[in-house]
Homo-oligomer: A and B are copies of this chain.
């Protein structure tokens, strides 16, 4: 799920001789652009950072930046994990309630990311709160993930993946999960994100705890 996923490729460094020099260079360039972007944003903020500056620091031309990332927001947000998560989701036992499957997959993704680049996850959430364009792009990319979710839900519920019910349900999950990282960032990154996700999934599964019976 996007806002809480790794920035750096899981196949990260370029020290793998089985790939041709060309491929290795491409990976390096990608990383250079991202690193430069993160650094500049940390120094100057998102809006004040231009693609030209990013290109300069990454030692490539602006054209190349756009060749690697379709938009400036994508430099911050792209992750290579989503496809993996979908597989993982599909691999869960068919009898398992989808909320549990989701819980499992989310935790997996979060753990993986935390281990690899605990900074990125925070930076993203933070930018999501501050920069509308980034938040928008985040929602976009999450709703793409939502489309995949549909199928998993459909399989388990017996409903059609493109039925109104399944679509609404999937998108409501996405919306709820999105809000978690917003909440986390707005409250100074307090607490363990994974616990927050758990709580959110409880709400999404069972509704709000009824406090006045």
A contact patch SS: helix
Number of copies: 2
Per-residue B-contact encoding for A176-213, CB less than 8 Å = 1, 0 else:
10111011000000000000100110011101111110
A171 on the interface (CB 8 Å rule)? Answer: yes
Q: Is the CB–CB distance between A159 and B204 below 8 Å?
A: no
Most B Cβ at <10 Å: residue of A136, A179, A207, A212? A179
Q: Is the CB–CB distance between B204 and A165 below 8 Å?
A: no
Which residues in B have their C-beta under 8 angstroms from that of A210?
157
User: Are A171 and B164 also in contact (CB < 8 A) when A153-B208, A157-B208 are?
Assistant: no
Q: Is the CB–CB distance between B211 and A158 below 8 Å?
A: yes
A34 on the interface (CB 8 Å rule)? Answer: no
Closest Cβ of chain B: how far from A114's Cβ, in Å? Answer: 20
A168 on the interface (CB 8 Å rule)? Answer: yes
Which residues in B have their C-beta under 8 angstroms from that of A57?
none
* Residue from B168, B182, B205, B209 in contact with A204 in the complex, judged by beta carbons closer than 8 Å: B168
Which residues in B have their C-beta under 8 angstroms from that of A207?
169, 205
